[in-house]
A and B are shown apart, each in its own frame.
Chain A
Amino acid sequence: MTSPPVVVGLDVVPEPEEASRYLGYPQGRQPQARGKHRLAELWPQALALLAPRGAYALVSRSAAAKVGMPEPGETVAVAVVTIGPALEQEISRRTAAGVLLDALVLDAIGSSAAEAAADALNLELCTTARSHGLEAAPRVSPGYGAWDTACQPLLLALLPINELGIHLTSGAMMVPRKSVSFAVSFENPGHIGPHAPTQCERCGLIRCRHRVAPADCG
């Protein structure tokens, strides 16, 4: 089962708690008064600058293996989402002006929005898998686990990134930065099991301050 690329608009609802987590606060901890005030004040401004969109295509196991995806399923949905350039431009502007707290807060909101955009498209892909009588495995991205970041250009070559306004730097970094590429294996029911590892559990970045699952250092 394969399908050509499809571009979709996305409804994105980032969570303030997620933005707090990206600022480094553990669950249950809130920013102190000034940070809290900036987060509340900048929240609506940041949301107004979001233009979340995404694209996906269904490809074969061999096509997914060619772009470096570890252990691809029979069918794989490859996907990319972005929140657009406007919020990042504002972050750059405030960084250059030396308003670092605002830049940090906006960056955290942008990260949570990009993750929410990935979640939204992921959910759509789960529904697509189910409509074909299949189950969607947890998503994986280049740079996490065994998937080398150097494979990013190969993965994005399968998707209409120009249409989404995404390009890659010489270091294979997506611009806008708040973009997420990923792939989801479609598996036969029962194949995935109830305890499929989460993204954090699969990721090798042990020191990541955004880690929400304990690292397996063994």
Chain B
Amino acid sequence: MLVPRSIFKAKMAVRGRVMTERQDLLTALHDAVLGGDDAAAGRLAEQTLAGGLPALEVIEHGLVPGIHEAGRRWEEGEYFLPELVTAAQAMKAAMAVLQPALADKGPAFSLGQVVIGTVEGDIHDIGKTLVATLLSASGFAVSDEGASVPVARFLARARDLNADIVCASALLTTTMPKQRELAAALKASGLKARLMVGGAPVSKGWSDAIGADGYADNALAAVALARKLVVLGATG
């Protein structure tokens, strides 16, 4: 049966308008992440779901490009820590809205389970929290154990959560030996978790020397490394 030209045109116009509205929402979400507007990001995520957009599509075409652009600007020296932090928090706010919709479609969406903390004797907190926030915003399930975390607690949490990655931060040369202790204990435990280390005095040389699986010198590099370790199984 032939559809009259006028009806066909009207249908195409509606479809075009819907597509434009979808694209506008995704662009707005991208911009909310880039601008670090967590309230707008949460509200827009709700609108996308109400508009029938699949959560995964919203993440892939709205949130991820937004956080990637924030990362690119940070690497280019256009963005600094405050902009990066607020972008990650905006992404987290949107993810909090979208996660339940993903869970409805199947097992909880997660790139992998991370246990993160600052090593015992070291009470620096903010850098580690930033890494945790970016990992979480990037789709990892993150258990932040806080600062001055004993080796035994890292192991216990990795075992309890069947963690893929343990991240240990040390900000002083005097606390770095705890990373070595953790690396040895993790190897001896037989757990599957890979160890990532970071912190101002930490280097790739140190990471290699203690037998860690990878080292990152900033929060974005930590996310890239975590992806590499979990998805590719490679050592960084």
B217 at the interface (CB under 8 A from A): yes
State the CA gap A149–B174 with chains docked (Å): 6
Q: How large is the interface on B (under 10, 10 to 19, 20 to 34, 35 or more residues)?
A: 20 to 34
Are B126 and A205 touching (Cβ within 8 A)?
no
Give B85's nearest chain A residue, CB to CB: A100
B113 at the interface (CB under 8 A from A): no
**Neighbour of A101 across the interface among B86, B120, B121, B171, CB < 8 A:** B86
B89 at the interface (CB under 8 A from A): yes
Q: A23-B82, A173-B175 are in contact. Are A95 and B120 (CB under 8 A)?
A: no
> In whole Å, how far is B144's beta carbon from the nearest beta carbon of chain A?
10
B207 at the interface (CB under 8 A from A): no
Binary CB contact string for chain B from 4 to 44 against chain A (1 if under 8 A, 0 otherwise):
00000000000000000000000000000000100000000
State the CA gap A207–B89 with chains docked (Å): 26
Contacting residues, chain A, for B148 (C-beta < 8 A) = 169
Are B81 and A104 touching (Cβ within 8 A)?
yes
State the CA gap A25–B77 with chains docked (Å): 9
Within 8 A of A (CB), among B168-209: 171-175, 178, 200-201
Are B83 and A95 touching (Cβ within 8 A)?
no
A139 at the interface (CB under 8 A from B): no
> Chain A at the B interface: mostly helix, strand, loop or mixed?
loop
Are B174 and A171 touching (Cβ within 8 A)?
yes
State the CA gap A34–B83 with chains docked (Å): 9
Are A172 and B82 touching (Cβ within 8 A)?
no
Within 8 A of B (CB), among A11-65: 23-26, 29, 31-32, 34-35, 38
B69 at the interface (CB under 8 A from A): no
State the CA gap A171–B85 with chains docked (Å): 28
Give B133's nearest chain A residue, CB to CB: A100
A202 at the interface (CB under 8 A from B): no
State the CA gap A140–B134 with chains docked (Å): 35
Residue with the highest number of chain A CB atoms closer than 10 Å, among B82, B83, B119: B82
State the CA gap A16–B159 with chains docked (Å): 45
Instruction: Spell out B's residues near A (CB within 8 Å).
Output: 36, 77, 80-83, 85-86, 89, 119-126, 129-130, 133, 148, 171-175, 178, 200-201, 217
